[in-house]
Amino acid sequence: MSDVLLSRYQIIRELGSGGFGDTYLAKDLALPGHPPCVVKHLKPKDTAPSALAVAKTLFEREAEYLYRLGKHDQIPSLYAHFEEGGEFYLVQEFIEGEELTQELLPGKPLSEERTINLLREILEVLAVVHKENVIHRDIKPSNLIRRKRDKKLVLIDFGAVKEIGALTVTAAGQTTMTRGIGTPGYMPSEQAQGKPRLASDVYAVGMVGIQAITGLSPDRLTEDPNTGRLLWHDRAQVSDRLANILDRMTHEYYRSRYQDASEALQALMSETEFSPPLSQVRTQVAYVPDVASKQSGGLLKLLKIVFSVAIGGLATGAIAGIILLNRPSSSPPVVFDTPTPTPTIEPTPRETTSPTPTPEPTPEVTVSPTPTDTPEAQVPDEPSPTPTVEPTPTSETPETTVATVLNPGTLVRDEPSPTGKILCPVRSVRTINTYGETNGWYKTDICGTMGYIHQSQLTFDRRSDAE
């Protein structure tokens, strides 16, 4: 191989070598400053014309996937791909950082919280890959880089392109692969047999999680000879909820696993104690109707006492101070839930059309009715709010759907994607309003602003807007 490829990419040193090809650190001579890049050199095992033809088709297909996936911030960009002398080359973004192997040290298990966050980081990136129906095939700590500039995990070295190096022609003239792509310990049985699935990647992530919480590499773990189940629970400090998730991710039979990264991520967020980063947390105020009602009643009693012991301007000042302290903000609070309040939850402070039953002039406090000897009798005469204060769907959502959230802790995101920013969790089994569906995600205002919740977490009871 030449030291300079395409008169542009100058090889600096070898980063790694394997049966499928070699990887080099290079610099791009065509760009200012000659920035670093990574060159992957893929060498077909069989140089027969039929094998090379299949390799070329496979190479073009996988390059197309890598171009598309490289638009994601945590997947390396593909700069170029080309063929030269019957051999194939990929030029990718160089990621400066450390392999995850530097965090998963032998005999030094991570805490459950750190393990959950690590699984979340990996699954969020992998969900983007699975959305394109692409199987990574070689997820392991050395293929996850903790990027230096922002500490995010970057997923590298997609195994699919390695198929090119495994192609060979049989005696019957058929092109096939000589072996399964992947790494022993992180590769499930169906992948070793050359039949990988999206759930095969889920298995690999589960093995990384078990390695993190036990401090043991996969080759140090044993299996139940009767069931094939990995025996690791007694080697870790782990809750039953996380243990069950990891067991399902690494189940021997692929149909018993989560079928893709999105499903595994949803389960992880729903079933474990997860605190999102502060950058993802919105300031929110819980709405508690019962407490509000008690505060309203307490205020009326307090006003009676003030009127019985105060006179003139002193009483007026006390009333005004109490009302101002208990007056709601001019803008509605952001709430977790959106219950329908009854008409007597709290008075409407801004209403000025209600008559003042007391003969004393109190111009300073006309923003609210002045209590009399029977202040409770005034409540039915005040203007009542409309029976329903749920947000009115826009013209794009002509029908409201009442849905029941199945799992406490289900997350609502700002876009219809498992990688969207978390707006809030739904902390109990309850009904919510939804306003239309996009790719399996339903729009809801449960967080006080419009967000999306996945259909797998809902059951439905449809109703019309008129109701």
CA-based R_g, the chain, Å = 31
Look at residues 465, 410, 464, 456 and name the one whose alpha carbon lies nearest to residue 437. 456
Torsion of CA 42, 46, 52, 53, to 10 degrees: -130
Give the residue ranges of the annotated binding site. Answer: 40
Q: What is the pLDDT of residue 165?
A: 62
Q: Answer yes or no: is pLDDT of 261 > 60.
A: yes
Tell me the three state secondary structure of residue 247: helix
Specify the range with the lowest mean pLDDT, choosing from 89-93, 112-116, 192-196, 224-228.
Answer: 224-228
Whole-angstrom distance, CA of residue 137 vs CA of residue 459: 34
Confidence of residue 260 (pLDDT cuts 50, 70, 90): very high
Q: Answer yes or no: is pLDDT of 2 > 50.
A: yes
- Whether residue 458 contacts residue 434, with contact meaning beta carbons closer than 8 Å, is answered with yes
Confidence of residue 177 (pLDDT cuts 50, 70, 90): low
Confidence of residue 152 (pLDDT cuts 50, 70, 90): very high
Helix axes 261-271, 240-249, angle to 10 degrees: 170
216-248 pLDDT per residue, tens: 999 999 988 888 889 999 999 999 999 999 999
Confidence of residue 400 (pLDDT cuts 50, 70, 90): confident
Diameter of the chain measured on Cα atoms: 108
For tokens 């700590």, the residue is 141
- Whether residue 322 contacts residue 272, with contact meaning beta carbons closer than 8 Å, is answered with no
pLDDT: is 419 or 464 the higher one? 419
Tell me the three state secondary structure of residue 279: helix
Q: Answer yes or no: is pLDDT of 184 > 80.
A: yes
39-87 pLDDT per residue, tens: 999 887 777 787 788 888 888 888 998 999 999 999 999 999 998 877 8
| Torsion-angle region of 69 (φ positive above 0: left; ψ -120 to 50: alpha; else: beta) | alpha
- Whether residue 41 contacts residue 87, with contact meaning beta carbons closer than 8 Å, is answered with yes
* Average of per-residue pLDDT values in the chain: 76
Look at residues 213, 234, 240 and name the one whose alpha carbon lies nearest to residue 111. 213
Confidence of residue 318 (pLDDT cuts 50, 70, 90): very low
Q: Which residues contact 375 (CB under 8 A, 6 or more apart)?
A: 300, 303, 304, 369
Q: Answer yes or no: is pLDDT of 201 > 90.
A: yes
Give the residue ranges of the annotated binding site for ATP. Answer: 40
One-letter amino acid at 349 equals: P
- Whether residue 84 contacts residue 187, with contact meaning beta carbons closer than 8 Å, is answered with no
Q: Return the percent helix, strand and coil in the chain, to nearest 5.
A: 35, 20, 45
| Torsion-angle region of 466 (φ positive above 0: left; ψ -120 to 50: alpha; else: beta) | alpha
Whole-angstrom distance, CA of residue 212 vs CA of residue 236: 10
Confidence of residue 284 (pLDDT cuts 50, 70, 90): very low
What residues act catalytically? 138
Confidence of residue 36 (pLDDT cuts 50, 70, 90): very high
Q: In sequence order, what DSSP letters do the residues of 144-204 get, joined into one string?
A: EEEETTT--EEE---GGGGHHHHEEE-TTS-EEESS--S-TTTS-HHHHTT---HHHHHHH
Q: What is the pLDDT of residue 90?
A: 94
| Domains, the chain, ordered by start | 4-170+180-275 (1.10.510.10), 289-381 (no CATH), 401-462 (2.30.30.40)
Mean pLDDT, rounded, for 109-129: 97
Specify the range with the lowest mean pLDDT, choosing from 66-75, 170-179, 198-207, 357-366.
Answer: 357-366
Q: Answer yes or no: is pLDDT of 10 > 60.
A: yes
Intra-chain end-to-end CA distance of the chain, in Å:
73
